[in-house]
A = this chain, B = another copy of it.
Amino acid sequence: MPQRTKKPGASRIRSAAFQRIRADHSSELAEDYVELIADLIDEKGEARGSDVAMRLGVANATVVKTLKRLQDAGLVTQEPYRSIFLTGEGWKMAEDGRKKHKIVEAFLLALGVSEKTARIDSEGIEHHVSDETLRAMARFLARKVM
């Protein structure tokens, strides 16, 4: 056997973090979409694709394409030229996302960050926070309030 042989042990362990990140990224967009759609429904009574596009800061066509994927994934239902609805699964994801998002944002505020920064940073951080870390953040918040 010429050349060095690889022992995959240590590296396989290390790669776990990056594999988690790639998994997080693949669900991230869906989470933001359903949360945003839920917000729009609660705020205005309906969620239109163009509202989603405006709030995300992307083109209308991008939203149309993404919603098609979310529909295939069973998270939303829609008909052409109509507003968007969440399925049961969609609402569940939206609610879970909201809960997590709120904790992360409140945590950043409690840490002493400005409202604007907390709002912006939490939008990205929320997708990479494990349950364990989320619990630690909630614990910190509870301690702070006492």
Residue numbers of A with Cβ under 8 A of B are 6, 8, 11-12, 14-21, 24-25, 32, 50-51, 54-58, 108, 111-114, 117, 119-121, 123-125, 127-130, 132-133, 136-137, 139-140
User: How long is the Cα–Cα vector from A50 to B7 in the complex, in angstroms?
Assistant: 12
Closest Cβ of chain B to A73, distance in Å, is 20
Instruction: Check B125–A113 contact: CB distance below 8 A.
Output: no
Name the B residues within 8 Å of A139 (CB-CB).
112
User: How long is the Cα–Cα vector from A8 to B6 in the complex, in angstroms?
Assistant: 56
User: How long is the Cα–Cα vector from A111 to B110 in the complex, in angstroms?
Assistant: 13
Instruction: Check B32–A18 contact: CB distance below 8 A.
Output: yes
User: How long is the Cα–Cα vector from A3 to B132 in the complex, in angstroms?
Assistant: 48
